[in-house]
Amino acid sequence: MSSATAAPIRLDGVNKVYDGGSVAVGDLSLEIPAGNLVALVGPSGCGKSTVLRMINRLLDPTGGTIYIDGDDIASSDPVELRRRIGYVIQHVGLFPHQTIAANVATVPRLLGWSKTKMAERTEELLNLVGLDVAVHGDRYPHQLSGGQRQRVGVARALAADPVVLLMDEPFSAVDPIARGRLQEEFLRLQQDVGKTIVFVTHDVDEAIRLGDRIVVLSQEAKLEQYGTPAEILASPQSTFVSEFVGADRGVKRLSVTEVPSTGLKKPPPGKHPRVSDDVTLRQALSALLDGDTGYVAVESGGTVAGVLSADDVYRALHEADDAVMSS
Q: Which residues bind ligand ATP (CB under 6 A)?
A: 18, 20, 22, 24, 42, 44-50, 202
The CB-of-44 to ligand ATP minimum distance in angstroms stands at: 3
User: What is the distance between the alpha carbons of residues 106 and 200, in angstroms, rounded to a whole number?
Assistant: 23
Closer residue to ligand ATP (CB): 100 or 221 = 221
Closer residue to ligand ATP (CB): 18 or 95 = 18
Report the first-to-last Cα separation within the chain, whole angstroms: 34
What residue type is 326 in one-letter code?
S
**304 - beta bridge partners?**
299
The CB-of-181 to ligand ATP minimum distance in angstroms stands at: 23
- Kindly report the backbone phi and psi dihedral angles of residue 264, in degrees, each rounded to the nearest multiple of 5, phi listed first: -75, 145
217, 84, 194, 61 alpha-carbon torsion, rounded to 10°: -10
The CB-of-51 to ligand ATP minimum distance in angstroms stands at: 7
Closer residue to ligand ATP (CB): 24 or 39 = 24
Closer residue to ligand ATP (CB): 50 or 190 = 50
Closer residue to ligand ATP (CB): 126 or 221 = 221
Closer residue to ligand ATP (CB): 150 or 201 = 201
User: Any idea what DSSP says for residue 115?
Assistant: H
146: burial class by Cβ within 10 Å (0-12, 13-18, 19+)?
middle
The CB-of-118 to ligand ATP minimum distance in angstroms stands at: 33
The CB-of-14 to ligand ATP minimum distance in angstroms stands at: 12
User: What is the distance between the alpha carbons of residues 107 and 113, in angstroms, rounded to a whole number?
Assistant: 9
Q: In what order do the strands lie in the sheet with 274-276?
A: 274-276, 296-300, 303-308
The CB-of-174 to ligand ATP minimum distance in angstroms stands at: 17
Handedness of CA 305, 306, 307, 313 (dihedral sign): negative
13: Cα separation from own chain's centroid: 24
The CB-of-214 to ligand ATP minimum distance in angstroms stands at: 15
Closer residue to ligand ATP (CB): 169 or 312 = 169
Closer residue to ligand ATP (CB): 54 or 324 = 54
Return the SS3 of 66: strand
The CB-of-223 to ligand ATP minimum distance in angstroms stands at: 13
The CB-of-269 to ligand ATP minimum distance in angstroms stands at: 54
206, 180, 152, 140 alpha-carbon torsion, rounded to 10°: -130
User: What is the distance between the alpha carbons of residues 213 and 225, in angstroms, rounded to a whole number?
Assistant: 10
Neighbouring CB atoms inside 10 A of 59's CB total: 17
Rg (CA), the chain: 22
Closer residue to ligand ATP (CB): 42 or 137 = 42
What number of CA atoms fall less than 13 Å from residue 264's CA on the CB side? 20
